[in-house]
Amino acid sequence: MKPGPKRSLSEDAIVGAALKLLGERGGDAMSMRSIASEVGVAPNALYTYFPDKAAVLRAVVDRLIGEQSLDVFTDRGVPWRRRVHEVALGLRTRLLDHPGATRLLLGAPMDGPRALAFGERLLDLLTEAGLSEEDAARASYTLIVYLLGSIALEAAELDPTQPAPPEAERVAERRKGFDAVPAEAFPRTAATASVMAAYISTDQYLWGLDRVLDGLTGRRGRS
């Protein structure tokens, strides 16, 4: 029997295989050996491109961040705050398409070329909003922590191997849990159960984003 065609190997192919495995099995089941099997090579072939699994995961994070178009940042015909909203919503949609990989976001540095390009455009937008370069840098970090932290917490409630259910279904399921909280022991929690159940909603995500932006731009001109 003739051997099958030799599969091409590249950084992109390896990252794509890792992303596929994260979606099928989750992070705990992914290894250099499983990635190698997915791309049809011996495990030691991967080390030509990545020194270890951590480096692969960093590249996965960079690809996920890079799926967000940077064109939104530069359209000065759109108010800067609306552009932040569009970027934030686009990032959330793309990352929640890969909940298994999104859980890695808070554990891997964002220092790849796509992440750096994203950060640079965000700095441009914040200086356009009136912040000094130093304040824009601090504000950029604060925004990224809020956005990625919110998305990662939302992804943590999803099955990484299954498509995410509609938002309304997920909120309704969370509400069942809050309805079981004894009101006599936790009266404030019980009284705001509908709000807490919707922590994973788009409304909550944008509510928090606007409060962060209000605080950041309120410091404009002050050291």
Q: Map out the domains of the chain as residue ranges.
A: 8-51, 52-218
Binned at pLDDT 50, 70 and 90, residue 74 comes out as: confident
Residues of the chain above pLDDT 70, percent: 91
Cα gap 205→203, rounded to integer Å: 5
* 150 pLDDT above the threshold of 90: yes
CA distance 85 to 107: 25
In contact, 14 and 56? CB cutoff 8 Å: yes
CATH number of 52-218: 1.10.357.10
Distances from the Cα of 156 to the Cα of 37, 84, 127, 173, 185, angstroms: 27, 24, 33, 15, 27
Q: What's the whole-model pTM score?
A: 0.84
The pLDDT value recorded for residue 112 is 87
Measured between alpha carbons, how far is 87 from 147 in angstroms, rounded to an integer? 10
Lowest mean pLDDT among 89-103, 165-179, 199-213: 89-103
- pLDDT score of 82 more than 60: yes
Please give the CATH topology (third level) of the domain spanning 8-51.
Answer: Arc Repressor Mutant, subunit A (1.10.10)
